[in-house]
Amino acid sequence: MLTMTTEFDDFFGFFDEMEASSSEAQTQFQIPEELFQDEPNYSSSFDTFPEQTQKEVLRRHKIIQFIEKRLTGGWTEKNLVPLLNVVEHELNLSPPSWRTLAEWKKAYFESGRSLLSLVPKHAQKGNRTTHTDSQSLIDEAIEKKYLTRERLSVAETYRY
């Protein structure tokens, strides 16, 4: 009987909607495997930084490009200092030290010439270890000295 239905379908052009919708549903609800293969890129974009930071990045980029076009030889003090004086006069920008410029260039080139590598890293300066929580010390003093049967003064609790 199955063959009769097929011959009948072929002859009269019958279209089984149920069969079509189930095959569409199978292909429609398959999740592409590409979504799970690549690591998502959550890096910052240039536009997410404050305007002042963007200006500083563009200033650094402009200086690097200016020096790169005029530099003959390596990025050494001997070659960079004369060009940094030219940067000051021609671009009207305060030039960095030659060593700072060499560090900017290194980060910029190692990142594949990404502007994000020129973002100032002021937040990474200094001692970033967590400090002791003073609130826990205050709470301890209140519990051990002040909230006791023997009422000490606030000054005595403070001395603890």
Contact by Cβ (8 Å): 57, 44: no
Model pTM greater than 0.85?
no
The DSSP letter of residue 115 is G
Confidence of residue 25 (pLDDT cuts 50, 70, 90): low
Confidence of residue 7 (pLDDT cuts 50, 70, 90): low
| Predicted confidence (pLDDT) per residue in 65-113, tens digit | 999 999 988 999 999 999 999 998 998 989 999 999 999 999 999 999 9
